[in-house]
């Protein structure tokens, strides 16, 4: 019976519900309303809540009660949402998840200020967290926060660069998105008091998972079977998104010129033909596979370290990252 | 000889130099440059460095070596400069201390992001600070940071309010500016391991000092002797600044109407006549005096608690806040 209970609480959905319940019980409160309403608004827009899930997974797979990791889990989601509010201003985005962005619904000033107050709330939350792992969690999050800013700046810088190298692009997305995944998972392990080597492997696993997921997503967008992905093929190409594929293409043919001459499905078809001509479908797959192999390697290491990797495998499935 | 040395290091100028030296030895470093250059730029624009000075004073007057308080002192100045960068965007200000603001010299995006990274750097600094007072300093700064955001939002809200009460205005400037002064001074005392009652009195002293200084400054601007202040009289009135005097005036006569009809020295002269007619010069002085009396009361308390108040008195002189 006890074992059955353990198994029941160990699946991802249960952890997701655990966090959703914590989130709904901990809205931001304070005045003036124009400061606190945008904070609750952005948190209410949903999303996969992958970062708090990673923290709860990290705690559970290292043997802690995931409930003990709810505060750090929440702090990761609040930090992530802080970056969304500020990034949306920088990217001049008017919608997020189908709803108006904070600065669109309120103003740029209120976007800046409520974002600031969310970052402050992250530290408030962690300072109130009475747990031996508290200080090392704050240190890892602070290092990560700095890296996320560096990644965002690299992204902004890239708009005015003549040429963006593959290495530059990969480092940029590592900093902009992957390090917070690594941080989120590792913080869970820290709550469990996991040893340094385990923490490092979990961090690396999440970094590799994040990059693998993103590149796999890019590949599917261009070359995936619409019947399988359920998406119109070449959406990124149609939108002119500067993914790794765009960067790879740039070193083989003048993709900017091609995109300036063609739009819509015509652009998609001509671009896809060119990409395949230079075997960039295979090349992108090879890069994605590198990170995927990194994940597998990390999982092996973690298994040998006695970590229960079943949740991590379930996570790979959820994110549709191939496991073999 | 030893006593002489103690006296020499105890004056404000020596503490100012101590901080200036620490500041010059600790520039922000990192890449990309577009993230870190604005951080060093805003820090280089100068100012009175009153907040780090308060921290060093707090440490010294409670018996600690001020050098031990340099990191918290620096974190207060960096925090203050973070607020300047973001406030300048919100206030649409193009110059600060005679130089272009960060978002003017770079862009709004770089202003937002480098400001964020400064707030993160504040926590990085404090997390690296190996001192028993570290956690309570972080807790006080975090509470203060939240209050500063609330004050800034109250300020923004006030633009669309039909009427701003005196109480609203005073609470707004307490949060926007005074609480960080209180925090800065108290953190110095915390470094010295001062007891709670001393910490609280120092905090209150700095709050009262800040409000007294600001209201005294407003009074001098309108009613001070130009030969003494060295400033053109009625500068705030000419600029249309919404000080406490403006709010007091609003409940007696239609100051907006008056200002819409007159500009320059004519506006100043007519407004001053009206203000004196309603004895608002005396009323403002009375409010400033309340906070000034608060300062004196706090100083008495601190003296009775065995705190060396000579630096605090020197500070009152430096800020030209009357001591009696």
Q: Distance between CA A6 and CA A198 in Å, rounded? A: 22
> What pLDDT, on a 0 to 100 scale, did the predictor assign at position B323?
44
- Is cis: bond before A32, omega within 30 of 0? yes
DSSP tag of A160: T
Is B312:B302 a contact under the CB 8 Å cutoff? yes
Give contacts of A34 with chain B, Cβ < 8 Å.
153, 156-157
pLDDT in tens, A169-201: 999 999 999 999 999 999 999 999 999 999 999
Question: Do the chains contact at A120 and B149, CB–CB below 8 Å?
Answer: yes
Stretch B106-134: mean pLDDT, rounded? 98
Q: At B45, which helix (H) or strand (E)? A: none
- CA–CA separation, B240 and B229 (whole Å): 20
Helical spans, DSSP H, in chain B: 2-9, 12-25, 33-44, 50-61, 70-90, 102-105, 108-127, 134-158, 166-173, 179-191, 196-223, 226-229, 235-239, 244-250, 255-261, 264-277, 280-304, 310-318
Which residues of chain A lie closer than 8 angstroms to B152, CB-CB? 113
Q: What pLDDT is attached to residue A5?
A: 43
Phi-psi map region of B67: left, alpha, beta (phi>0 left; psi -120 to 50 alpha) = alpha
Cα B77 to Cα B73: distance, rounded to the nearest angstrom:
7
Residues of chain A with Cβ-Cβ distance to B34 below 8 Å are: 153, 156-157
Whether the CB of A226 is below 8 Å from some CB of chain B: the reply is no
* Residue A245 contacts residue A218 (beta carbons within 8 Å): yes
| A96-100, A193-197, B137-141, B222-226: least confidently modelled range | B222-226
**Minimal-distance CA residue of chain A relative to B145:** A120
A161 has a chain B CB within 8 A of its CB: no
Contact between chains at B116 and A149 (C-beta distance less than 8 A): yes
Question: What angle separates helix B179-191 from helix B134-158, to the nearest 10 degrees?
Answer: 180
The domain limits of chain A are 1-149, 195-324
Chain centroid offset of residue A250 CA: 26
Distances (CA, A) of A60 to A6, A227, A246, A301, B58: 10, 36, 39, 17, 45
Contacts of A295 (CB under 8 A, 6+ apart): A205, A208, A209, A212, A316, A321
Domain A195-324 is classified in which CATH homologous superfamily? Farnesyl Diphosphate Synthase (1.10.600.10)
Q: Report which of B261, B262, B273 is spatially closest to residue B222, judged by C-alpha positions.
A: B273
Domains A1-149 and A195-324 share a fold: yes
The tokens 């003036």 sit on which residue? A32
**A143 interface with B at CB cutoff 8 Å:** yes
Nearest to B145 among A120, A139, A145 (CB): A120
- Chain-chain contact of A113 with B121 (C-beta, under 8 angstroms): no
State how beta strands B95-96 and B99-100 pair.
Answer: antiparallel
Nearest Cα to Cα of residue B91 among A107, A56, A217: A107
Look at residue A246 in the predicted model and tell me its pLDDT. Answer: 95
Find the mean pLDDT for residues B2-6. 42
Answer yes or no: do B113 and A86 touch at CB < 8 A.
yes
Predicted confidence at residue A173, as pLDDT, reads 96
CB contact under 8 A, A139 and B149: no
Architecture of domain A1-149: Orthogonal Bundle (1.10)
Helices and strands in chain A: count of H runs, count of E runs: 18, 2
Question: Is B119 within 8 Å of chain A by CB?
Answer: yes
The two tokens of residue B218 are: 């407003």
Residue B194 pLDDT > 50: yes
Q: What is the pLDDT along chain A (324 residues), one digit of tens a residue?
A: 344 444 444 489 999 999 999 999 999 999 999 999 999 999 999 899 999 999 999 999 999 999 999 999 999 999 999 999 999 999 999 999 999 999 999 999 999 999 999 999 999 999 999 999 999 999 999 999 999 999 999 999 998 888 899 999 999 999 999 999 999 999 999 999 999 999 999 999 999 999 999 999 899 999 998 888 777 889 999 998 889 999 999 999 999 999 999 999 999 999 999 999 999 999 999 999 999 999 999 999 999 999 999 999 999 888 866 544
The three-point CA angle A91-A95-A101 to 5° equals 80
Q: Which of B32, B119, B150 sits opposite A119 (nearest CB)?
A: B119
pLDDT over 50 at B190, yes or no: yes
Judged by CB atoms closer than 8 Å, whether chains meet at B124 and A146 is answered as yes
pLDDT at site A10: 47
Retrieve residue B257's tokens: 């109407």
Residues 6+ apart with CB under 8 A from A301: A201
pLDDT of residue B29: 98
Please give the distance of CA A215 from its chain centroid, rounded to a whole number: 12
């Amino acid at each position: 019976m006890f074992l059955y209970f353990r198994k029941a609480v160990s699946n991802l959905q249960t952890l997701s519900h655990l966090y959703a319940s914590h989130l709904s019980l901990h809205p931001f409160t304070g005045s003036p309303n124009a400061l606190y309403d945008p904070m609750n608004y952005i948190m209410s827009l949903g999303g996969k809540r992958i970062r708090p899930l990673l923290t709860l997974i990290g705690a559970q797979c290292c043997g802690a009660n995931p409930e003990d990791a709810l505060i750090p889990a929440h702090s990761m989601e609040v930090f992530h949402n802080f970056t969304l509010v500020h990034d949306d201003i920088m990217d001049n985005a008017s919608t997020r998840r189908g709803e108006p962005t904070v600065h669109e619904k309120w103003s740029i000033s209120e976007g800046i200020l409520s974002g600031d107050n969310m970052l402050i709330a992250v530290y408030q939350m962690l300072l109130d967290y009475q747990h031996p792992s508290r200080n090392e969690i704050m240190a890892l999050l602070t290092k990560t926060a700095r890296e996320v800013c560096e990644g965002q700046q690299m992204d902004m810088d890239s708009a005015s660069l003549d040429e963006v190298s593959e290495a530059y692009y990969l480092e940029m997305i590592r900093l902009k998105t992957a390090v917070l995944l690594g941080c989120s998972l590792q913080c869970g392990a820290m709550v469990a008091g996991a040893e340094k080597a385990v923490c490092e492997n979990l961090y690396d696993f999440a970094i590799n998972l994040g990059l693998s997921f993103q590149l796999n997503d890019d590949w599917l967008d261009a070359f995936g079977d619409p019947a399988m992905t359920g998406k119109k093929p070449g959406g990124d190409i149609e939108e002119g998104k500067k993914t790794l594929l765009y960067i790879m293409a740039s070193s083989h043919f003048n993709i900017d010129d091609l995109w300036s001459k063609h739009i819509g499905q015509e652009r998609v078809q001509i671009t896809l033909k060119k990409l395949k001509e230079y075997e960039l479908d295979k090349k992108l797959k090879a890069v994605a596979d590198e990170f995927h192999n990194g994940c597998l390697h990390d999982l092996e290491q973690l298994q040998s370290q006695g970590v229960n990797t079943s949740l991590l495998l379930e996570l790979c499935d959820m994110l549709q990252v191939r496991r073999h």
